[in-house]
């Protein structure tokens, strides 16, 4: 994947300066893939994949305008089948590509205000 993104919601519980939350929603990313079986490149594709993501995190407010967070997310971009794909003279095999990612993300946010 050379780029990815998501549109998510967050639902959490705040306690003093802490926020524990769950997050989930729509995920998308650009995938370039090409398998090499027995020295022959097969099933090459270059496309934007769509899927879903879910996770959770913990955010801390250092002050009213500055927060930091750590978050875990699992993302599934789905499965795609190709085939049969030629891997040699007269040799064809089915090919299935499945992409999932697991990420631990760190974030720092500053909230601008017009006081």
Report pLDDT digits (tens) over 31-60: 887 666 555 555 567 889 999 999 999 999
- Residues 53-89 have pLDDT tens digits of 999 999 999 988 999 999 999 999 998 776 666 666 7
Q: Please provide the CATH number assigned to the domain covering 3-110.
A: 2.40.160
For 26, the enclosing helix (H) or strand (E) is: strand 18-37
In whole angstroms, give the CA distance from residue 49 to residue 34: 15
**Residue 1: which pLDDT band, with cuts at 50, 70 and 90?**
confident
């Amino acid at each position: 994947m050379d780029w990815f993104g998501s549109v998510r919601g967050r639902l959490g519980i705040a306690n003093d300066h802490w926020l524990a939350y769950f997050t989930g929603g729509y995920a998308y990313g650009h995938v370039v893939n090409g398998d090499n079986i027995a020295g022959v490149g097969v099933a090459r594709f270059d496309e934007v994949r769509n899927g879903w993501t879910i996770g959770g995190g913990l955010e801390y407010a250092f002050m009213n305008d500055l927060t930091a967070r750590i978050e875990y997310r699992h993302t599934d971009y789905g499965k795609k089948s190709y085939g049969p794909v030629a891997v040699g003279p007269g040799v064809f095999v089915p090919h299935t590509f499945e992409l999932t990612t697991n990420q631990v993300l760190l974030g720092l946010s500053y909230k601008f205000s017009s006081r």
